[in-house]
Amino acid sequence: MKLVRYGEAGSEKPGMIDSAGTLRDLSAHLDDITGAALSGAGLDALRALDPASLPAVTGNPRMGPCVGGIGKFLCIGLNYSDHAAETGQDIPEHPILFFKANSAVVGANDDVVIPRGSRHTDWEVELGVVIGTAAKYVSEEDALNHVAGYCIVNDVSERRFQMHLSGQWTKGKSCDTFGPTGPWLVTRDEVPDPQNLALTLDVNGTRRQTGTTATMIFTVAQIISHLSQLMTLHPGDVISTGTPPGVGAGIKPKPVFLRAGDVMDLAIEGLGQQRQNVRDDD
């Protein structure tokens, strides 16, 4: 299934994309696509519905973040061997964890806003993992059974805020609009192997990132197992699993960063596409 949240920001409705690509309204069956709807029983109830019986949504509504009421937005840094190489950093021994503020989350095609004082806003296409059932002390072998589905995340980053304002990476990761998520949540049964997905990101029509989840240092299963030893992962939590090479900060001989008027196009195999226009903060 492809589950969506559509409509104006803050008033999104739950929906489903049927096999023909038509958006169907789920409002008669649940209030929102949140952790409560993403349990095994919740997803089974949605699968039992006949999409043709659901009202078709007309027009071209905005796609909001594909998960509402996110509890934790966890992010993994330096998780692609080729990305670590382009930044000149060592392969980490354990997953590098930082958090992105939930207030950064926006829809897949919403504007990305460059914060005041920023000169180093960067892009990062990433595989997002959405937890469906609570995970605590889970093994790698069992980890994927706790996944509801997958989505695209753009882990937008302000590199000076991240690296030079002291403290943690969170400072450069949590600015408003720095977490486009979606356009839809693709349930686990439609993604046979999360370690075999192609990722791309273009800026103004120029390909900047090309990668595959096969080059992840830590697999999705390893990440979930590791994090679950440290904290309980709850339904609706989102994990952004790292980015392949090609970020602006890694461009030689001179880094390239986002400016107002730029357009980013992101895609992950089987998970759809994102497009964000970049603008300055008012």
pLDDT given for residue 169 in this prediction? 81
At 77 the pLDDT is 92
CB atoms within 10 A of CB 145: 14
- For position 82, what pLDDT does the model report? 80
- 73-280: CATH superfamily: Fumarylacetoacetase-like, C-terminal domain (3.90.850.10)
- Residue 217's pLDDT is what? 96
Dihedral sign for Cα 186, 201, 181, 216, please: positive
CB atoms within 10 A of CB 167: 9
Closest Cα partner for 106 from 158, 180, 34, 173?
A: 180
Which DSSP category does 52 fall into?
G
Q: What is the block-wise mean pLDDT of the chain (282 residues), using blocks of 10 residues?
A: 97 97 97 95 95 96 97 95 78 93 98 95 98 98 98 95 76 94 98 98 98 96 98 98 94 94 98 98 88
- Per-residue pLDDT, 191: 98
Every domain of the chain and the residues it spans: 2-53, 73-280
Look at residue 144 in the predicted model and tell me its pLDDT: 98
